[in-house]
Structures are given as C-alpha cells and as structure tokens.
Homo-oligomer: A and B are copies of this chain.
Amino acid sequence: KRSYNVTLLPGDGIGPEVVAVAKDEKLMGGAAVDAYGVPLPEETLAAAQASDAVLLGAIGGYKWDNNEKHLKPETGLLQIRAGLGVFANLRPAAVLPQLVDASTLKKEVAEGVDIMVVRELTGGIYFGQPRGFGKNDKGEDTGFNTEVYSASEIDRITRVAFEVARKRRGKLCSVDKANVLEASMLWRKRVTSLASEFPDIELSHMYVDNAAMQLIRNPKQFDTIVTNNIFGDILSDEASMLTGSIGMLPSASVGESGPGLFEPIHGSAPDIAGQDKANPLATILSAAMLLRYGLGEENAAKRVEAAVTETLNNGFRTGDIYSPGTTLVGCKRMGEEVLKTV
C-alpha cells in the first residue's frame, strides 16, 4: 500500500458535509474570506501544491455574493485552478439507468446519454488581460474582459481531449464560435491541424449556439466535447442537467504535472447547508476520479464507483434523486451506505 497526501478543501455551504470524511483540511472560499480575509490563503495553496491531489467540496454563498472581486469565494477557485495549473477540466454527464427518470428529458432521449465535456480551465475570458472598468470616449462607465487563446493553450487542451475520446467511443466534437470570434478561428485552426496526430478519432466542429440546441435535441450524438473556458462553463452545466441528477456528477481538473483538483460540479447550495440533505455521491465520485486521474489508482477508482452503483441498486436515494419506491436517506447515511459496500 502506498500512502498519498490529499488536500481536502471542504469550502462553503454543503461543502463540509459532502467532504465529511475530511482529514488535513485547509480553508478556501467564503470560509477563508471570513477567517483570513482572502478566498485562497497562501498556506492553502502551498499545502495543495505540495500534496498528491486536492479534493474540493463547493464554495460560495449569499453572504459573500456582493463582495468585491478579490474577496469573492469564486476568485479563490480561479486562483487555485491557476495556482495548480489545472488547464483541463473533465466533466462527465452520464445518465445512469437507475436514475433515467430524474431527467426532464423523455426517457428515449435521455437513456444512454454519456458525454464527457473537456473544458479549458485556466485561459480564455476568465483570465485574459486587459480586464476591468474604464470610460469610453463619451465619458461613460464601461466594463471589459478579454477572450484570448494562444496556440499552445489550445494545443494542450486539444491533445487531452483527443486522448480522452480515444479511451471512450472515439468521437470528438470541438465547440467554438468561429463564424464570429477570432479567438475561435484560431481555436478551430489548431484543433483541425492536430487531428492528423489522432487519425483514429472522428473529429467534428460545432458552433456553440448549435451545440446548446443539439444537447437538447439529441444528446446521444455526443461522445467527447472540447471547448473553451466560458463555453465549457455553460455547456457542461447544460449537459449535467440533462441527466437530472447534478448531485451525482463529479469533475476532475488536471495539468501537465502536479496535483489535480477534484470537485463535484454542484454548487454550495447554501439553502440546504447543514440540514443533512445534500447528495454526497458527486463528491464520492470525484474521489474516484481523484484515484483514477490524480493517483493512477484505477482499481481503487473502480471499487468506489462500483460501491456507488451498488448503493443505488440497494435503493438508497437522497432527496434530489428520490422517486417513489426508493429509500430516502440523508447525506451522512448515504455516505455510510457507500462505505459499507466498498
């Protein structure tokens, strides 16, 4: 048995509950703003950088919503992504056979959906300079941001996406807005030119507005999607909701080397925090991704995933995925049931 150093960042809202297995926690998000006056204390980033992998619960809440930018929990999240260099965000959205009814889509449209969104995470409009507030030539206030990608930023995320597609069903769809944006034109050009390195992968391109439609019209047409930071933010959330059970969905953010960041895709749900109602499965499945992509422990990852499947087969459900005929349990109990079966 090897031992690993995993940094746990429970965060805010239901974050601490869903990460309740926590050892070696560090503060980040609103909790850190309250305790240290910054959303990502240096000590937290240093601990994360020195560890083998980082598991994050969720951050943010009403309390900090109107904070200035440098005191927003979200800013801490962007800082830790940048600080760890985790440019590739993998977001699976699969409809589990046990939960197909949770989708708002018709059964025949939802069943079998199995999409992986590969989102660029440390570039684009989230980080582009210049950004800020200014005045235009009429003396009016303006707010501005820069969407910018360099060739190497596009190439590295594209390679990750091709590799991911290769381990899946061999289809990659690159999503952009190359009919309008120069940043997207470069994106499409680079993605297209890398295709020759992956002749076994079927590559297609789609405009982002069409992708937002096609995900609803016929989500089964997608296998792996690769896209920029902001389009990935929107489309991965849309894809998640197709499953009807975002309380189930994990994510992995990885870089070229160094620890990865693993987190459920759901938010901190301040409205239900502390009530033992949250679904811990997304975090548990994030821990499985941590084992797989962060530590290379494929077998352990599979064991965790199998335990989640068995727990669902045993009929246990938190409120967000409950349906008549199943057993309603709280966050803590759900975690215990999974542990029992691992």
Contacts and interface: CB of A to CB of B under 8 A. Distances in A.
A144 B142 contact: no
Contact of A106 (B106, B125, B141): B106
Contact of A181 (B145, B149, B237, B240): B145
Given A69-B185, A131-B182, A148 B152 contact: no
B148 A143 contact: yes
Interface in A178-218: 179-187, 208-210, 212-218
Nearest to A242: B216
B148 A144 contact: yes
Given A106-B104, A183-B145, A234 B216 contact: no
A140 interface: yes
B216 A235 contact: no
B217 A234 contact: no
A69 B240 CA distance: 34
29 contacts: A60-B179, A74-B179, A74-B180, A78-B180, A104-B105, A104-B106, A104-B109, A128-B144, A131-B182, A138-B150, A138-B152, A141-B186, A142-B149, A142-B150, A142-B186, A143-B148, A143-B149, A143-B181, A143-B186, A144-B149, A208-B234, A209-B233, A209-B237, A212-B212, A212-B235, A213-B237, A213-B241, A214-B241, A217-B244
Contacts of A216: 104-105, 216, 238, 241-242
A147 interface: yes
Given A104-B216, A140-B150, A140-B152, 7 more contacts: A69-B185, A74-B179, A142-B150, A145-B148, A146-B147, A208-B234, A212-B212
B238 A212 contact: yes
A136 interface: yes
Contact of A180 (B126, B212, B240): B126
B145 A150 contact: no
Interface residues of A, number: 63
A217 B266 CA distance: 14
B148 A217 contact: no
A143 B213 contact: no
A74 B210 CA distance: 15
Could you say which of A133, A145, A233, A246 has the most chain B C-beta atoms within 10 Å of its C-beta? Answer: A145
A295 interface: no
Contacts of A210: 237
A171 interface: no
